[in-house]
Amino acid sequence: MRNRSAPFLAACRREPVPHTPVWFMRQAGRALPEYRAIRGTGSILEAIADPERATEITLQPVRRYGVDAAILFSDIVVPVWATGFGVEIVAGRGPVVEDPIRTPADLGRLRPLDPEGDTGFVLETIRRVAGELAGDVALIGFAGAPFTVASYLVEGGPSRDFARVKTLMHSDPATWHGLVDRLAQMAIDSLVAQVAAGVDAVQLFDSWAGSLSPADYERFALPATTRVLDAVRSLGVPTILFGVGTGELLGLMSSAGPDVMGIDWRVPLDVARDRVGPGRAVQGNLDPAACLAPFEVVAEETRAVLARAGSAPGHVFNLGHGVLPETDPGILGAVVDLVHAEGRAGVAR
């Protein structure tokens, strides 16, 4: 376990910090030449299942950027994949499911997760990373929120309009709730084991929740997400809930009880703080595509995010979504330095 006072963990708890902490979603990945050098040519799931490679990939961005947190190199479909549900991650496309879930009978193909037996490699990676990190750098574990994992299992792959998943929830709510209940239990079992193995905080990725209307989110996604966060709360580590395009959902998502709400780049952080309400930290929210500009532009945008975050405690700097593969790592390193030097949220003076 890290120092409880590590800047990232303190910011999650809205406590004073020595500097505004920063990490980047997808910081471990294709933007880094040292990642491309050891990633290998097979499926990304093979690299995830190899604790030696996964440990190195998890640590690379900490060395390169000087971020305040490492995030486990893994994927939100790993638990379903590891229990034998047929899913592959196709480069440039995302998770693809050969035989999607469409009927009540399909639920039988999802079996419960045995974290050590099915995903022992994940836990081994966590133990190795935790043993290597300095005490003021936190390790973040994660899981997919039930709606977002379900969207892949029902659509069969990434989707633009989420037509099949919405059709299932609207036309057969019992099967839908059976599906997200199973995925919630799988996320809980995975996160409990991740915390026991040594992660200091967990992020729940509900990446595609923003495709839902508020009414649909409240009825079909929020209950299972709340169940996951309720189960994780007793473990004593901070929780982060994130999705893109969730501006209209922030109040509902906040009601699920995370310590930190992840905010995409569309919602200015001061507006987000109002919608999220008191008692939550916020994480975000530089536009990943803005990081492709010359550094003077990136610096201006970074300062704009810091200004919106204000000086009240409880800001973790991040991008509003994952690092784009074509990002210059030098730019991200300079963003870390700038945030550490100029961030003011909760900085003790």
Positions that interact with a copy of itself (CB under 8 A): 161-163, 166-167, 170-171, 210, 212-216, 245, 247-248, 265-268, 271, 287-290, 292-294, 297, 304, 321, 324, 326
Q: How far is the CB of 334 from a copy of itself (least distance, A)?
A: 15
Nearest to 69 by CA among 16, 121, 30, 11: 11
Q: DSSP string spanning 105-134?
A: GGGGG-PPP-HHHHHHHHHHHHHHHHHHS-
What's the CA angle centered on 117, arms 194 and 185, to 5 degrees?
55
Q: How far is the CB of 320 from a copy of itself (least distance, A)?
A: 8
In whole angstroms, give the CA distance from residue 336 to residue 338: 5
Nearest to 323 by CA among 314, 332, 315, 336: 332
Question: Does the annotation count 280 as an active-site position?
Answer: no
Question: Does the annotation count 39 as an active-site position?
Answer: yes
Q: How far is the CB of 346 from a copy of itself (least distance, A)?
A: 24
**Do β-strands 87-90 and 94-97 pair in parallel, antiparallel, or remain unpaired?**
antiparallel
Active-site option among 39, 164, 219, 344:
39
- Closer residue to a copy of itself in complex, CB, 137/272: 272
User: Are 149 and 76 a contacting pair, CB within 8 Å?
Assistant: yes
Q: How far is the CB of 147 from a copy of itself (least distance, A)?
A: 14
In whole angstroms, give the CA distance from residue 268 to residue 306: 10
Q: How far is the CB of 291 from a copy of itself (least distance, A)?
A: 9
Active-site option among 53, 65, 68, 75:
75
CB neighbourhood size of 322 (10 A): 18
- Closer residue to a copy of itself in complex, CB, 55/283: 283
In whole angstroms, give the CA distance from residue 72 to residue 117: 19
b/e burial code for range 212-245 (CB count within 10 A of at least 16 → b): beeebbebbbbebbbbbbebbeeeebbbbbbbbb
User: Are 69 and 139 a contacting pair, CB within 8 Å?
Assistant: yes
Active-site option among 35, 65, 152, 217:
152
Question: Does the annotation count 75 as an active-site position?
Answer: yes
User: Are 17 and 62 a contacting pair, CB within 8 Å?
Assistant: no
Question: Does the annotation count 26 as an active-site position?
Answer: yes
Question: Does the annotation count 53 as an active-site position?
Answer: no
- Closer residue to a copy of itself in complex, CB, 89/289: 289
Q: How far is the CB of 151 from a copy of itself (least distance, A)?
A: 12
- Closer residue to a copy of itself in complex, CB, 198/288: 288
- Closer residue to a copy of itself in complex, CB, 73/220: 220
- Closer residue to a copy of itself in complex, CB, 167/311: 167
Active site residues: 26, 30, 39, 75, 152
